[in-house]
């Protein structure tokens, strides 16, 4: 299992493990908890969207732009 998360955890502070639940990390426990809350909110939002029909992904260019904004905000 450790080998399967080695790369994904470098890219994100929260991942879902099939049949095992979630894993979040942070420099402090509070950061890991915040990551867990964010992931829980995202999963809940996804579930609600699925109840209304097809999920339409955000275009790649827009996703990159949003990630860049997120990186700038986190570095403040």
What is the pTM for the complete model shown? 0.67
* C-alpha to C-alpha distance for 71 and 73, rounded to whole angstroms: 5
Domain ranges of the chain: 2-74
43 with 52: CB under 8 angstroms? no
Instruction: Out of 4-8, 29-33, 50-54, pick the least confident.
Output: 4-8
Q: According to DSSP H, which parts of 12-59 are helical? A: 29-51
pLDDT in tens, 20-43: 889 999 999 999 999 999 999 999
């Amino acid at each position: 299992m450790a080998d399967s998360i080695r790369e994904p955890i470098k890219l994100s502070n929260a991942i879902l493990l099939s049949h095992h639940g979630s894993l979040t990390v942070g420099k402090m426990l509070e950061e890991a908890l915040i990551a867990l809350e964010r992931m829980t909110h995202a999963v809940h939002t996804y579930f609600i969207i699925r109840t209304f029909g097809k999920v339409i992904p955000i275009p790649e260019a827009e996703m990159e732009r949003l990630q860049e904004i997120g990186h700038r905000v986190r570095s403040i």
